[in-house]
Structure 1
Amino acid sequence: MAYDEVLAERVRELLEEGDAVVAKKMFGGLVFTVTGNTAVGVVGDDLLVRVAPDDTPQALAQPGARPFEVRGRISKGWVIVAGEVLDDHVLDDWLQLGQKAAAARPPK
């Protein structure tokens, strides 16, 4: 599956790739890791976001957000956000949420 390269570039610019943030092709898209843990990714036209368990209900209540489903099963700790709702402010909020959840995990 191809991914939205414009969205990926917007994510890359906001995350400022460096030693702690690395982009990798995975899940048929492009994911961004923080200290080795996936924080966010671009899959198709949408944004995949790691979400801490305590943040999940509030995250799913946001416009364009839905659970991340793999083969008919909901993957806990992940949310998909529709690309059409990702203006710069909204995108930055989601990236911060994903970075927070990834940073809370042990480094890989």
Structure 2
Amino acid sequence: MAFDEGLAERVRNLLHDQNNVVEKKMFGGLCFMVSGHMLVGVLKNELMARVGPVQYDEYLTKPHARKMDFTGRAMTGMIYVSPEGLQKDPDLKFWIDTCLSFTSTLTPKS
């Protein structure tokens, strides 16, 4: 499984104070789950971000964001952020916080 270990470590550092964080290898990369829900993933050198369906179109207008089309079909609520959009820690933190905001609206899974 090839994914950017440095990016994964940066994600871990930003999630260090969150409860119920689980790492799971999937999609050929590493996913971070919070309370049983997929939050973000590291696929190769990109971030897979679960932003949710409501503001999906808005987040697609952000620099370096694009539709997640892992299966050949776009998955509403999920986007990829290219490495250029993740170089600075505040940029990565923006995406992590955005995803935490969405997943906090979901009922925790057991």
Measured against the shorter chain, the TM-score band is: over 0.9
What is the deviation of 1:23?
Answer: 1.3
Equivalent runs, 1:13-24 vs 2, <5 Å: 13-16=13-16, 19-24=19-24
1:37 touches 1:103 (CA, 8 Å); kept in 2?
no
> What corresponds to 1:98 in structure 2?
99
> What corresponds to 1:69 in structure 2?
69
Quick one: distance in 2 between partners of 1:19 and 1:72? 33
Q: Does 1:35 align with 2:58?
A: no
What is the deviation of 1:18?
Answer: 5.5
1:40 touches 1:99 (CA, 8 Å); kept in 2?
no
- What's the % identity of the aligned pairs? 43
After superposition, give the CA deviation of every residue in 1:3-26 in whole Å (9 maximum; x if it has no partner).
Answer: 000000000001116642111111
What is the deviation of 1:45?
Answer: 0.4
Say which structure is richer in strand.
1
Aligned pairs, number: 108
Higher relative contact order, chain-length normalized (CA < 8 Å, sep 6+): 1
Q: Note the aligned Cα RMSD (angstroms).
A: 1.3
Quick one: distance in 1 between partners of 2:94 and 2:18? 20
Quick one: distance in 2 between partners of 1:39 and 1:52? 10
Structure 1 residue runs of 5 or longer lacking an equivalent are: none
Quick one: distance in 1 between partners of 2:52 and 2:27? 20
Structure 1 residue runs of 4+, over 4 Å off? none
2:52 touches 2:76 (CA, 8 Å); kept in 1?
no
